[in-house]
Every structure is written in C-alpha cells, then in structure tokens.
Amino acid sequence: MSGPYETRTSDYKLRPRPSSGFPLPVEMWGHVVRPVDAPGRRPLVLFLHGRHQACYTPRDGSADGPSPLQWLCGPRGLPVPSYLGYDYVQRLLASQGYVTVSISANSINEQDWNRADGGAAARSLLVRRHLGVWAQRNRDPESRWFHRLQMRNVVLVGHSRGGEGVERAAIDTATPAAYKLSGLVLIGPTDFGRQVATGIPTVSMLPFCDGDVSDLQGQGYVDTQRDVTHDPALHSALMVMGANHNFFNTEWTPGLSIGGAWDDWWNPNDPVCGRNSERRLTKVEQRRVGKTYIAGAVSLFARGDDSLLPMFDGSNVSVPSAGDADVRSAQLGLDETLIRPLARSLTGSGGAEVSQCVGRSSAPEDRACGDGASPVRTPHWPPVPPRSAPSAGAMEMTWSTAGATGGVQLAAPRDLSGYADLEARVVVAKERPVRLRFRLTDADATTATVPAVGGGRLVPFPGNRFDLAKLWGQNLRAPLAGVSGIDLTRVTKVELEGVSESGHVWLLEFAGRNRVIVPDEPTPLPVVSIGTARQVEGDGGTATLDVPYTVTGDVTKPASLRVYVQNIQNWRETQSVRVDIPRGTRSGVIPVAYDADRRYDGKHTRYFLAAFPLRNVMTSRYLGNAFVVDDDPKPRMTLSTVRARTAEGDPARFRLELSRPADVPFAIFMRFAAADRGVPQATLGDLNRRWVRSFTREPLSTRLSRSRWSRFGWLDAGRTSLELRVPVRRDGRAEGLEYVGMRWRISPVAVRGEPEVRRASQLIRD
C-alpha cells in the first residue's frame, strides 16, 4: 500500500491571526509530510483535527520554557498537538506522491464554546488561510514550493468538528479561487448546520462505536445533497463497524498521546462496543482502516482512480489493507436517476402495510420515521426542529407474508434501460433480518421480479435500543442486464418485494445507476448568509422585524430555505418560515413576527434564526439574530410586610409586588438587614431552630443582620408578587418588641444594569 517515495517532515509556525468573535488570536501552525524527489507538481492534502482539549500540563508540572501558545495555555501549560495525530496517514500519502499538511486549531477549540455555530466559520477561515499560504508559496519564485503543487487538485480531510470545518471551507471558497477542491474526506464529522458543498465528491466515515458524535451526524452530508439538489458528485457514507471516535487521531489515543486521551465509547462492558468486545477494533486496527479508506478516497478524488470506486459505492467488497475490518458503504451521486417515495405515489399489495413517515426521530407527529427511536440511533432522521434541518421522509413497509410488495407509482414512465443497476437504500428494523428483491412494472402493466445481489439479505445492526442498533440505510442492488419480459424504457412502477416471510423496513429511495465517475464541472449552488436586525418594539399587536440575507452566486432556479425562529428568553420556537428565493435574487429579508405589547421585556428580546436549505441553495452563515428593543418602562417594585406586627410563633411575612406584569423573570437575592426601628434586632435564637440549623451553625445569639443566611428567589415572567416567610419561634420569655429586617436585590434576568434594592422590616411582639 505504501508508495515508491521516501518521505520528509517539516513544520511551520506563522504569525497568529485574529478571527471574528474570538478575543484571542488563532495560531497558524502546520505539520508537513512530503514525498522526496517526486517529479512535477503534486496534489495537496490538508488535514484539520476536531475539538479536543487544547492544553495540558506536563507530568513534572512544568513546561520546558515558555508555552508556544502562552496566550492560551499559560506559562506552565503546553498545547495538545492534535494536529500531529494524522502523521501516520500523512506518511502513507506522501509515499504515494502527495504533499500533506495537518494544521492546528487549538485556539478555536478553546474559544468556540460561545459561538452559535460551534466554531464552524472560524475553522473554515483557518483552512482557507492555510490554503492561501500554500497558493502563494506555489506562485512565489523565491519559494522552495514554486510550481511544485497542483493547487487545482486539493483534497481536504477533517475529523469531528474539523469535518464540518472543511465542509464549510468548501462552501465558503470564493469562485474563482487560487485553489480548487477535488474532494472531501470527513471522519466522524459533526453537521450542526446541515450544510453540504455540492459538486465536490465527499466520503463521510461513520464510526459505529462513536461515543462523541454518537448520532452519526456525518450521514447528513449524503442525505442533504439528495434533498437540496441533484448532485452528480459522489457522496458516500462508510459505516466503520467497531470504530470509536478518537482512535483515528494518535494524539487522542491512550498510550500514544502526549496530552490527555481516552476511549470515547462510554460503556467499557458493552458487548458490541466495549473495549473488550471482539467486535471492537483495536487501536492498530482502527488506524489501519483509517489509512486504507482515507488514502483510497484521496486517490479516487485526486487521481480519478475508478478501480477504487467499489470501496465507496455500496459494493460488498473487502480491502486487504484494512485487515478483517467490517466497513460498509452506501452512496448517492454518480450517474443516476433517483426515484423518491412520496405519500401520493406509494403502492402496496399482497398484504404489505405501506405508509409515508415523517423524516424525524422522536417527532411529535404520529408517523415519525424510526417508530420514535432515540435520535442517537437514527442518522437519517434528525431531532425535531429547530435543532436541525428539514429531512425527507421515507416509505415504511411491514409484511407478514412472502410476496408482499411496496413501492412507488411513477407519475410518468421512466427509462431505466441505460442503467447497469437498480439500487435502493433500505433501513432494516431491529426485529429481524429480511430478504428483498425488486419488482418492476412497465406501461403495459407487465411485471418482472429482479433478484438482488447476495440474495437480497439485509441484517439489522447489533446492539441495544438506546444508542446502538443503528437504523441506517443499507445498499440493495440488482443488475438490470438480462432483465426480460418488460419494457425497461417505459417503467411505471418500482417496488420492493418481500422474499422473507415477514419484515419491517424503511425505503429511502430507489435509483437507476451506472457506477462510474461522471466527468463534470457542476455549477456551485448559490450561497445564502443570514444577518442581524434590530428595531424598537412599539405597541399595538403583531409587528414584523425584517432580518436581511445576502446571496453569493447566481440563483438560476427557484430556491427556498426553511427558517426556524426561537425566542431566546424561553427557547420556544415561535415561527417556521419558508423563504422562497426567486431567480436573480442578490438579497432579501426574512420576516420575524412578534407581539408588540406594553409589558416590560428588559433591554431587548432576542430571536434566534436558523436557516436550512430546502431546494437549489446552500447556506454559509446559517444563523441570524433579531433584536426587539424594549420601549416599555420597568414596573415599580415594592417590598413590604403583610402585617405591621406579628406575634411569636407566627411567621414574619415579606412580600415583593410589581405594579404590573413583565415578560421577563426577576432574580432576587435576599439577606437579613439592620433597620432603624427603635427596638432590638432579633437573633438567630428567635427563629425556628430546625430552620436555622438548615443553613448555619453560628451561635444563636448572632444578630440576624450579621448571620450568613441568604437565599435566592425567582419571580417568573407574568407574575406580580413573591412572598417569603421567616419562621419565628415562641420562646416563652418576656423580651418586648424586636424586629426582623430584610434587604432584597432585584434584577431582571439577562438584563444588564445595577440591581434595584428594596428594604422592609417586621416587628415581632412578645
């Protein structure tokens, strides 16, 4: 598997660069592994690691000299070298003739916690900055890299959040650019934005035992391109059985790392994914799989080596260099025609129960795909919005008699004669394996059954019903050569037929397919970015705030987005808006409706927008904000006692009252306080002993205002009063009048400014 070239390593550390929204700069570090004496210009492969701890303290407690990331790690800490964790893959690729660089993103990892997109935009910018550096070196006659690189042949490899980062970099790359991307390889990637770079071949590796991105979000990079546009570029998902999230990076692997590392699968005793399970890959085996499939994808993309296509196109193949690892593929793209199961077109016969399910896991709808399974088990069907994008549904089919069929009645005859295979992606329920074949019907109502490769046997994935037993679409394939008795140029119905006596499956789609890379220069989709808007609330009922968006690229087909709007104060979804984008659009607005009332809201109400593509468009900055500035006065606040005096044995009652309701909650910090009442202040001994001992062991003779007692209170939005009762003890001693004083600091939640202070005191008669 190694290539003919010797390899050599080097590193560079450039001046750190600022990144929008981050107070600290971002490092520009790269680890280079290159071939020695490789002739001509060489393709470039760039690696980006994911989110891991950024710093560690050496075991001896001190660093050797000042930290190279001292602004981040402090004088005694050192950066975890996550970017060195792919050196084993870099060396293999360099031996095959590729120039490779792995870049560091520790500063982003340390600061992305407060970015709504999880740092995706910052990672995209970091990747593009490094590619800009390499493009400049390739153009510079004074550089050792002058004309040594194929900057029109670049492959990006991203792990975890690095996977989402390189995908976003592909979307954000301007056209024309100083480089051209030939493909993307994503390892256990996140996909918070449901964004996909169209026109760029992509392989997404899904570790079955991923304990970090355990919902296998990387499946979205295949499904989203299907839902948004017809993209001829290969989009393949690889289910890597027995692999966890971390062990693809040696710096995240115990026993190999310098800093902190761990096995991310949470249950060491799990019979499928526990560290002692025979089904788990060892550290060495997992790296072998990583090398094999990353190098295979890079060669497929950068060199167009079609002999490697069966590793990624749904074929049932084994690769010797990956050992005995079980790696399964399912893909979309290539030369294909898709047939989608829509509710109005579904057919069923022979006792099959067929219906359309909603493309959600645990959705409120009765017909959620996956029968309400945990989102961790349903990579095709994300959680309910606004946590994720719209997702296409599927055809659910159950049967209890062999020969039952379910499928799609086509609106018009479809010509399948030019395709080598008929394929389907089929999700098998947990209960049992199934056997399936295809049934085709032509315009003359003639039918033919078409047997599937391997007898059409599909087996459920192993594991428990919470986080394993994944409901993942497996490839079902049948060659069309030799099919006779029907007219393949006029197919009107495509169905699955149950060969097994019973079964339960979900059909994602049918496809007529030729397993070849289509030479194409697809036009990238126009890209939408969402902005921010602000306006004064006003009053008088429902009002609208227009949030702007801009479009980069040409809208040549009608396009649309789905935008979810949340009120940040209560995290409730207030709107789901379909935004249609006509041809030629360069900018527009998203209307956000709100209630313009006369109730105090604090400084402003923030509405959070999340935009996801529906058709013929992609997003870059997919998150926006709408700020409605409150113009209503704060209600007056009064702290008083319920009665002027109370007797020993009865509680001292303090009540906060607002002059009118507010739409923001108030946080209240309460303490005893001294007051000028002309009588002694009560002590801890004057209060209920059990109540006192629940918060302090101070002497009972301690005056209340000097005690450590305090309490937090909360006045919910819409409420106008809050009462506190302090239990006063009947002690049987003649003491005369005493008092209990209070001092409350009252602040509207999430509103800047000094709290308001209110005082009150209650007289206690003996």
pLDDT mean across residues, the chain: 92
What digits encode the pLDDT tens for the residues 678-702?
Answer: 889 999 999 999 999 998 999 999 9
Domain 637-765 is found in CATH 2.60.40.2030: yes
What digits encode the pLDDT tens for the residues 705-720?
Answer: 999 999 999 999 999 9
Residue written as tokens 């679409």? 473
Residue 342 pLDDT grade (very low, low, confident, very high; cuts 50, 70, 90): confident
Which of 26-40, 250-264, 607-621, 728-742 is least confident? 728-742
pLDDT at 704 over 80: yes
Rounded (5°) CA angle 380-235-214: 40
pLDDT for 62 equals: 45
Domain 527-629 class in CATH: mainly beta
What digits encode the pLDDT tens for the residues 187-230?
Answer: 999 999 989 998 899 999 999 999 999 999 999 999 998 889 88
pLDDT at 385 over 80: no
pLDDT at 518 over 70: no
Q: In this structure, which topology does domain 335-514 adopt according to CATH?
A: Jelly Rolls (2.60.120)
pLDDT for 677 equals: 80
Residue 65 pLDDT grade (very low, low, confident, very high; cuts 50, 70, 90): low
Return the amino acid letter for 208.
Answer: F
Residue 762 contacts by C-beta under 8 Å, 6 or more apart in sequence?
641, 643, 645, 646, 652, 653, 654, 726, 739, 740, 741, 742
Q: Which of 447 and 516 is assigned the larger pLDDT?
A: 447
pLDDT at 417 over 90: yes
Rounded (5°) CA angle 522-527-533: 175
Rounded Cα distance between 450 and 455, Å, is 11
Q: In this structure, which topology does domain 7-332 adopt according to CATH?
A: Rossmann fold (3.40.50)
pLDDT for 539 equals: 85
Query: Is the separation of the CB atoms in 741 and 704 below 8 Å?
Result: yes
pLDDT at 61 over 50: no
Rounded Cα distance between 282 and 113, Å, is 32
Task: Return the closest-CA partner of residue 246 out of 293, 294, 290.
Answer: 290
pLDDT for 515 equals: 75
Mean pLDDT of the region 459-486: 92
Residue 136 contacts by C-beta under 8 Å, 6 or more apart in sequence?
143, 178
Cis (ω within 30 of 0) for the bond into 232? no
Which ranges of 377-426 would DSSP assign to H, the alpha helix? none
Residue 467 pLDDT grade (very low, low, confident, very high; cuts 50, 70, 90): confident
Residue written as tokens 């309490």? 711
- Domains of the chain, by residue range, sit at 7-332, 335-514, 527-629, 637-765
Rounded Cα distance between 575 and 577, Å, is 6
Which of 113-122, 387-396, 650-659 is least confident? 387-396
Residue written as tokens 């997003």? 619
pLDDT for 355 equals: 93
Beta-sheet strands, E only, within 225-313: 235-240
Task: Judge whether 527-629 and 637-765 match in fold.
Answer: yes
pLDDT at 60 over 60: no
pLDDT at 262 over 50: yes
Cis (ω within 30 of 0) for the bond into 176? yes
pLDDT for 363 equals: 54
Q: Which of 265 and 370 is assigned the larger pLDDT?
A: 265
End-to-end, the C-alpha distance of the chain in Å comes to 93
Return the amino acid letter for 677.
Answer: R
* 160 three-state secondary structure: coil
